[in-house]
Amino acid sequence: MALDPDAVGRTYAPPAPYLVGREKIREFADAIGESGAAYRDPAAAAALGHPDVIAPPTFPILLAMPASVAVCADLGIDMAHVVHGDQRFAYTRPVRAGDRLVSVTTVEKVMARAGNEFLSTRTDITTDTGEAVVAVWSRLVVRP
């Protein structure tokens, strides 16, 4: 099945903001083997100039991944044929406990090469008041 090039520009957003909690940050840090004190201890984060604990740099995948699944479902892509091709983050500021984050994912590019199809998305993550936090780019490879 060929990906529809008309999908470029479509946007996807969850129905409610994501509330970032200290415990979720700690669980994520544990899961990826990150032992930094600023991910667990408010005093350590404050010593670095943050108002609360901060999240590891790859934490926003928790917001971007559900959007990728929604994009694939919308485009009729069988997830059994999807391989993660690339991931990139561009931060305005760290994600921190207490943030209420809103994510909007946009299909940026659809292309085919060497028998595979490629789907590139950008997820812009802001606070619920509109403060920019991070942009996340993902590339998925759809195998035949």
Return the CATH number at 115: 3.10.129.10
What mean pLDDT comes out for the span 48-53?
Answer: 97
Q: What are phi and psi of 42, to 5 degrees?
A: -55, -35
Question: Which residues span the domain enclosing 99?
Answer: 5-21+59-142
3-class secondary structure, 59: coil
Q: Is residue 90 part of a domain?
A: yes
Q: Residue 38: is its pLDDT beyond 90?
A: yes
Domain for residue 107, yes or no? yes
Average pLDDT over residues 77-82: 91
Q: What is the mean pLDDT of residues 102-113?
A: 95
Q: What pLDDT, on the 0 to 100 scale, is given for residue 1?
A: 58
